[in-house]
Amino acid sequence: MHSYDGKSCIFHFNSDLTGDIIIQNKIDESKIRIDAEDVLKFVAFEYILSNKINELEQMNYKDLLK
């Protein structure tokens, strides 16, 4: 299992991002277990998709046609 040490918590996860992700609070060490696929979908649809849409909306027609 791999770990990512964030600002307020530590993420424990499988290298292929399957199964569960365990998020551990740094202050009281409490943990929550969530499905990795839920996180991937959230990031893909809520963050990346909205950024891509914003990039497209800001492009001029010449850049868009390249």
pLDDT for 24 equals 98
pLDDT for 37 equals 95
Q: What is the pLDDT of residues 24-34, one digit of tens each?
A: 999 999 999 99
Q: Tell me phi and psi for residue 35, to 5 degrees.
A: -70, 130
Whole-angstrom CA distances from 53 to 23, 41, 46, 48, 60 are 30, 17, 11, 9, 13
Whole-model pTM: value is 0.70
In which residue ranges of the chain is pLDDT below 70?
Answer: none
